Structure 1
Amino acid sequence: MKKRIQFSLVYRDMWQSSGKFQPRKDQLERIAPVIIDMGCFARVETNGGAFEQVNLLAGENPNAAVRAFCKPFNEVGIKTHMLDRGLNALRMYPVPDDVRRLMYRVKHAQGVDIPRIFCGLNDVRNIIPSIKWAAEAGMTPQGTLCITTSPIHTVEYYSNIADQLIEAGAPEICLKDMAGIGQPAMLGALTKAIKTKHPDIIIQYHGHSGPGLSMASILEVCNNGADIIDTAIEPLSWGKVHPDIISVQSMLKNEGFDVPEINMNAYMQARSLTQEFIDEWLGYFINPANKHMSSLLLGCGLPGGMMGSMMADMGGIRNVINGILRGKGEKELSMDDMLVKLFDEVAYVWPRVGYPPLVTPFSQYVKNIALMNLLTLTQGKGRFVMMDDSMWGMILGKSGKVPGTIDPELIALAEKQGRKFTDDDPHTLLPDALDGFREEMQKNGWEAGPDDEELFELAMHPEQYRNYKSGQAKKNFLVDLQKAKDARLGSQLTPEQLAALKHAKADAIVAPLGGHLYYEFGGASECAPCLEPFIGQHYKEGDTFCYIQAKWGEIVPVPSDLGGKLVEVTARQGANVRRGDILGWIERDKD
């Protein structure tokens, strides 16, 4: 018999790759014992990137959820692990050193054993400090390689990074195939190269199912020395998520590996509970497209976890583009036309911005550049016109060094705009911040919590935590949930029934979230000094009024509600708006 292979259940990532929110604390407490009863998991992913932020957005305390979910696994010796975005820690933008250092102390105290530390650029400067801080806190740091397929992402490239992470103290290496486009043969060769040089290093493989290569990749890495495989369970396995534990176990068992047996009664119970969570409320925020696999992902390399938000972004921009095409008397684009154009544009942009592995947040940045390029090309303005500071930060080196070289066109554009490239270690560019957050907590009379976990939460997710403490987050969440329920109900009603459900007409267009504001008034430049000429423009119900680019990269269309005539614009193009800000006023058409 071949070597023993262990399995990990990526319960957090199952949800993130399917929809917006995570299960509540009480739901996690219910399913944890059932996962244990399945008897096949040596590890469970309990929290990490996005988990805590979306819990706050739902008005839930993530610290309580993490402690409750980890506790039963800790008691039976199942290791828990979390996703850690290196320089970005648990959010989409950089985190100061003192906040990152505190994170490992907090997470260890909460019962998390292993942080999976990655950098979207594979820049070891963003990973090595975290390896040291995690070890100091008593955790087992797992150095991570973000896998993609490009001319520069070779076995030698990745092996060199693994050598540096192991030398820095990482006893484990994760091959994070976040888009599932890693070629099986390359992954097998990489696994063998690391194991040959470092036979005692544990290798864990994490591969999404999106384009359909994951099962072949699992077989290759196992045959070349991998130790642990990430898996999912129905009803959230496959699609853009991960292969199901039953199929993975069957394949490896038939190959002659020593694998644990699955308690199928417990599997069916976990499956039923997960479906119950979906039916209760989480399913309202799951994009049905994320349940499907697509070989188109091989060409663009975008991760499956962001496909839902990408389709929403693309739909909004398509409406604007089609409006421009109609004005020119040209053929409009279908969603399929738009999808192919976007994937082709990603393929154009990606090498020119230095081949960053397409994982959060860089997948969002590259996708957004490509999407904005399609818009500005249609307007006749050319490419790389609408890029914010986050996109430029990736290009300029503020987030780390990109693996490839930046295109001369972008270098010249940066120089023209007075932007400076940097080789500085990214984490040295950020001043410590904890003292300021301590003062804020004291001023508000907030407790720092056990092991300073509440202080950490404020410092990691300031905006979301403040909304959570004020109760605004819960109110916003309940409104969003009701809208989602109404939308699903509306799809089942006649037009007359749907009209009867509409609430009173409102004139103010309000920002649903914070971020940078973009208008598209008849092709107006983002630098338009004055928007008054567009007063009087008419909107139909549901038309897009503007777009807000969130801090985490998602481009969210803001609807014009019930439509009417634009009478005032109260926020400038490119403004940094907050949730709840009034963006403009629309005079309703008379019935």
Structure 2
Amino acid sequence: MKKKIQFSLLYRDMWQSSGKFQPRKDQLERIAPVIIEMGCFARVETNGGAFEQVNLLAGENPNDAVRAFCKPFNEVGIKTHMLDRGLNALRMYPVPDDVRQLMYKVKHAQGTDITRIFDGLNDIRNIAPSIQWAKEAGMTPQGALCITTSPVHTLEYYSRLADEEIAAGAEEICLKDMAGIGQPAFLGQLTKMIKTNHPDILIEYHGHSGPGLSMASMLEVCENGADIIDTAIEPLSWGKVHPDVISVQSMLKHAGFEVPEINMDAYMEARALTQEFIDDWLGYFINPQNKFMSSLLLGCGLPGGMMGSMMADLGGIQSVINNLKKKKGEPELTTDDMLVKLFDEVAYVWPRVGYPPLVTPFSQYVKNIALFNLLTLEQGKGRYVMMDDSVWGMILGKSGKVPGELAPEIVELAKAQGREFTDADPHTLIPNALDDFRKEMDDNGWDYGQDDEELFELAMHPEQYRNYKSGQAKKNFLADLQKAKDAKLGAQVSLEEAAAFKHAKADAIVAPVKGQLFWEFQGDAEAAPAVEPFIGKAYKEGDAFCFIQAPWGEFVEVPAALGGKLVEINAKQGSKVNKGEVIAYIEREHKD
């Protein structure tokens, strides 16, 4: 018999790759004993990534949920692990060193054993400090390699990164195949290289089902020395998620590996409970398209977990583009037409911005560049017109070094806009922040919580935590849930039916991110917003039109396109807007 293979259940990622929210604390407490009873899992992913953030958005304390979910696994010796975005920790933008360091102390105290540390650029400078802090806090640091397929992502590239992570103190290596586009033979060779160089290092494979390669990849990595395979369970397995543990177990068992047996009674109970959670409320936030696999993902390399939000974004842009085409007397584009165009544009943009591995947040950045390029190309403005500071941060080196070379057109555009490139260590660019958050806790009379976990939550997700404490998050969530229920019942009209007639010579001002809209600010984005602009107000090219506070707290400036006269407003002060939604129309001055 071949070597022993262990399984990990990606219960958190199953939900994140399917929809918006995670199960509540009481639901996690119900499912944990059943997962244990299945008897086949050596590990369970309990938290990390967006888990804490989305719990806050639902008005629930995530610290209570993490402790409750981890406890039964801790008691029986099943290892718990979390997803950790390195420089970005648990959010979409960089986190100060002192907040990152606190995270490991808090998460270890809450019962999380292993942290999977990845960086969207595979920059060791963003990973090494997290490895050190995790070890100091008593956690097992697992260094991740973000897998993608490009001319610069060679076997030698990944083998060298594994060497660097292990030298920095990583005790395990994860092949993080977040889009499922890693080629099986390549992954097998890479596993063998790492095992040859580091025979005592445990290797875990994480591959999404999206384009359909992950089962073959699992067999290849196991044949070449992998130790643990990440899996899912029905009704959330397959699609854009992960292969089901039953299929993985069967495949490896028949290939001669030693694998654990599955208690099928417990599996069916876990399956039924998960479906109950979907039917209860979580299903209202799950995009049905995420249940389907798609070979198209091989061409663009985008992670399957992004497909739900991407299709929503695409729908908003599609309606704007089709409106423009209608005015020009051109045939409108179907959703399939738009999807192919978007994937083609991603393929065009990706090498030109240096082949960043398409994982959070850089997958979103590349997709956003491509998506808005489709709009601005249709408007006759060319490419790269609507890139925000986060996207530029990736390009300029503020988030780390992109693996490939930037195209001359990108470098020239940066110089033309007076932007400066940097090769500084990214975490040195961010000042510490805990003292300010301690003061806020003290001023509000808020308790720091067990093991400083409430202080950590405020520091990691400031805006969401404040909304949680005020009760506003729960109100917003209940309103969103009712809206989702109404939409499912057909009580709301579709986006197409709701779209109003737009002015023939006007440019659409489109929300670059989802969030809360604010008009001009007095002084800065934290100050009280001014009144809504008036119809007829004139703007110059490059003027700030409005600001959107993204779900992660950042204020994103929305430019006034190429300038002109404001002719229509579609959103009110403080309203919630979706990415790709038209905020207003500005009519340019046309000279015949």
- In the alignment, which residue of structure 2 is the partner of 1:334? 334
Aligned residue for 1:246? Answer: 246
SS in structure 2 at match of 1:141: strand
The CA distance in 2 between the partners of 1:585 and 1:329, in whole Å, is 23
Alpha-carbon offset, residue 460 of structure 1 = 0.1
SS at match of 1:179: coil
Which residue identity lines up with residue 421 of structure 2 in the other structure? F
Q: Which residue of 1 aligns with 2:561?
A: none
Is the Cα–Cα contact under 8 Å of residues 441 and 455 in structure 2 kept in the other structure?
A: yes
- For 2:59, the equivalent position in structure 1 comes to 59
Structure 1 stretches of at least 4 aligned residues deviating more than 4 Å after TM superposition = 515-518, 546-549, 551-556, 566-572, 577-581, 583-586
Count matched residues: 539
Q: 2:10: which partner in 1?
A: 10
Aligned ranges 1:127-166 → 2 under 5 Å: 127-166=127-166
Question: What are the within-5 Å matches in structure 2 for residues 501-516 of structure 1?
Answer: 513-514=515-516
Deviation at residue 326 of structure 1 after TM alignment: 1.1
**Match for residue 521 of structure 1?**
none
Shift in alpha-carbon separation, 1:384–1:584, aligned structure 2, 3 A: closer
Write the distance in 1 (CA, Å) between the matches of 2:11 and 2:86. Answer: 21
- Cα distance in 2 for partners of 1:357, 1:307 equals 16
**One-letter code aligned to 2:81:** H
Match of 2:100 in 1: 100
Aligned runs of 1:343-358 on 2, under 5 Å? Answer: 343-358=343-358
- Partner of 2:229 in structure 1? 229
Q: Which amino acid aligns with 2:171?
A: P
In structure 1, give the amino acid aligned to 2:408. P
Match of 1:259 in 2: 259
Cross-structure match for 1:89? 89
**Could you tell me how far apart the structure 2 residues matched to 1:94 and 1:167 are?**
24
Tell me, yes or no, if the aligned pair for 1:376 and 1:385 is still in contact at 8 Å: yes
Question: Contact 1:515/1:550 (CA < 8 Å) preserved in 2?
Answer: no
| Cα separation, 2, equivalents of 1:534 and 1:453 | 47
- Residues 531/205 of structure 1: CA separation in 2 closer, same or farther (3 Å cut): farther
Is residue 2:313 matched to residue 1:313?
A: yes
Give identity over the alignment, percent: 80
The amino acid across from 1:513 in the alignment is G
Q: Given that residues 368 and 553 in structure 1 are in contact (C-alpha distance below 8 angstroms), is that contact kept between their aligned partners in structure 2?
A: no
Is the contact between residue 86 and residue 117 of structure 2 (CA under 8 Å) also seen in structure 1?
yes
**Aligned-pair distance for 1:584?**
8.4
**Structure 1 residues 366-422: Cα deviation after superposition (integer angstroms, max 9, x where no partner):** 000000100010011110011100010000000000000111111111011010000
Can you list the C-alpha shifts for 1:438-480, whole angstroms capped at 9, x where unaligned? Answer: 0000100100000000000000000000000000000000000
Normalization by structure 1: what TM-score? 0.87
SS at match of 1:174: strand
Q: Which residue of 2 aligns with 1:69?
A: 69
Question: Using the alignment, how far apart are the partners of 1:255 and 1:472 within structure 2?
Answer: 53
Partner SS state of residue 220, structure 1:
helix
Q: Give a deviation string over 1:340-368, Cα, whole Å, max 9, x none.
A: 00000000000000000000000000000
Taking a change above 3 Å as real, the CA distance of residues 314 and 554 of structure 1, as seen in their structure-2 partners, is: farther
Taking structure 2 as the reference length, what is the TM-score of the superposition? 0.87
1:400–1:470 distance in 2 versus 1, CA, 3 Å: same
Aligned to 2:515, what secondary structure does the other structure show? Answer: coil
Residues 570/180 of structure 1: CA separation in 2 closer, same or farther (3 Å cut): closer
Shift of 1:211: 0.2
- Are residues 443 and 555 of structure 1, via their aligned partners in 2, closer, same or farther at CA, if it must alter by over 3 Å? closer
Query: Do 2:353 and 2:395's aligned partners in 1 also have CA atoms closer than 8 Å?
Result: yes
Contact 1:517 1:549 in 2 (8 A): no
**What is the CA distance between 1:532 and its match in structure 2?**
3.5
- Secondary structure at the aligned position of 2:122 is classed as coil
2:78 equivalent to 1:114? no
Q: Distance in 2 between matches of 1:420 and 1:516?
A: 28
What is the Cα deviation at residue 514 of structure 1? 3.1
The residue aligned with 2:292 is 292
Whether contact under 8 Å (1:309, 1:554) holds in the other structure is no
The CA distance in 1 between the partners of 2:220 and 2:551, in whole Å, is: 38
Give the equivalent residue in structure 2 for 1:523.
Answer: none
Q: What are the equivalent positions in structure 2 for 1:349-388 lying under 5 Å apart?
A: 349-388=349-388
Unmatched runs of 5 consecutive residues or more in structure 2:
494-510, 521-532, 539-545, 557-565, 586-592
Contact 2:239–2:293 (8 Å) recurs in 1:
yes
- CA distance in 2 between counterparts of 1:492 and 1:125 reads 48
Assess, with a 3 A threshold, how the Cα gap between structure 1 residues 585 and 376 changes in structure 2: closer, same or farther.
closer
Read off the aligned partner of 1:98 and give its amino acid letter.
Answer: D
Distance in 2, matches of 1:256 and 1:584, equals 59
- CA shift, 1:571, in A, is 8.6
Q: Please state how far the C-alpha of 1:329 moved relative to its aligned partner.
A: 1.0
The two structures, once aligned, show a CA RMSD in angstroms of 2.9
SS in 2 for 1:323: helix
Match of 2:397 in 1: 397
Deviations 1:547-589 (A, max 9, x none): 9683669999xxxxxxxxx9875999xxxx86669x9899xxx
Tell me, yes or no, if the aligned pair for 2:180 and 2:207 is still in contact at 8 Å: yes
Match of residue 435 from structure 2: 435
Post-superposition CA distance 1:163-212 (Å, at most 9, x none): 00001111100000000000000000000000001000000000000000
Indicate if the aligned counterparts of 2:39 and 2:263 stay in contact, CA closer than 8 A: yes
Which residue is 1:198 aligned to? 198
Q: 8 Å contact 1:95–1:430 — kept in the other structure?
A: yes
The answer to whether the 8 Å contact 2:56/2:465 transfers is yes
The superposition leaves residues 121-175 of structure 1 with CA deviations (integer Å, 9 ceiling, x where unpaired) of: 0000000000000000000000000000001111100000000000111110000
* 1-structure distance, mates of 2:242, 2:450: 35
Q: Secondary structure at the match of 1:256?
A: coil
1:589 maps to what in 2?
none
Preserved CA contact (<8 Å) 1:31 1:273:
yes
Distance 1:325 1:548, change over 3 A: farther
- For the pair 1:454 / 2:454, whether they are aligned, the reply is yes
Instruction: Evaluate the alpha carbon distance shift between residue 135 and residue 193 of structure 1 in structure 2; reply closer, same or farther with a 3 A threshold.
Output: same
Quote the offset at 1:489 in angstroms: 1.2
Task: Pick closer, same or farther for the CA change 1:348–1:55 going to 2, 3 Å.
Answer: same
SS in 2 for 1:80: strand
Counterpart-to-counterpart distance in 1, 2:341 and 2:576: 34
Deviation (angstroms), 1:533: 4.0
Distance in 2, matches of 1:229 and 1:440, equals 43
Judge conservation of contact 1:361–1:552 (CA < 8 Å) in 2.
no
Q: Are positions 1:489 and 2:501 aligned together?
A: no
In the aligned structure 2, how far is the partner of 1:473 from the partner of 1:549? 15
SS in 1 for 2:140: coil
2:274 is matched with 274
Query: Paired residue for 1:499?
Result: none
What secondary structure sits across from 2:204 in the alignment? Answer: strand
Shift of the 553–294 alpha-carbon distance from structure 1 to 2, 3 Å rule, reads farther
- Residue 505 (structure 2) aligns with: none
